[in-house]
Amino acid sequence: MRVVTWCLLNILAFYGAVVAVPGLNSQTLTDIAIGGFMLAAITGIGGPIARFVTFPVRLLTLGVFTVVVNFTLVVIAFWLSTRIGLTINAASTGALFTGAAVATLLVSLGNIIRKGLHA
């Protein structure tokens, strides 16, 4: 159940970023769902690896570098979704980074709500 919730949360965050950022466009909800699933897979698999590799830097920065790691994973997910043939188009690099920031904020907010409901 947690995996399904995690995937739905990432799909909603991906959708929110596409809707909120003017430079991101998509023609179908299916592409947004696939992009959100890619976001969940990249952050679910690549996240623990990236956090392990960057542990010394995160320790020195008292955890602040975790934001950079999470942001980078979301940028990778958006970039890959535009490259594999999904109809999610980024008009500029700035739109891509803004979309990643929006998606990161929405996933973080969703995780706070999700953990509050399961407590």
Q: Answer yes or no: are the C-beta atoms of 10 and 43 closer than 8 Å.
A: yes
- What band does 4 get if pLDDT is binned at 50, 70 and 90? confident
Task: Please give the pLDDT value at position 6.
Answer: 83
Q: What is the mean pLDDT of residues 36-64?
A: 91
Q: What is the pLDDT of residues 93-119, one digit of tens each?
A: 888 888 888 988 898 898 888 887 665
For the entire predicted model, the pTM comes to 0.79
Q: What is the mean pLDDT of residues 24-47?
A: 88
Task: Please give the pLDDT value at position 83.
Answer: 84
Question: Going by C-beta distance under 8 Å and a sequence separation of 6 or more, which residues neighbour residue 76?
Answer: 42, 46
How far is residue 101 from each of residues 55, 75, 104, measured CA to CA in Å?
22, 9, 5
Which residues of 22-104 form beta strands (DSSP E)? Answer: 24-25, 89-90
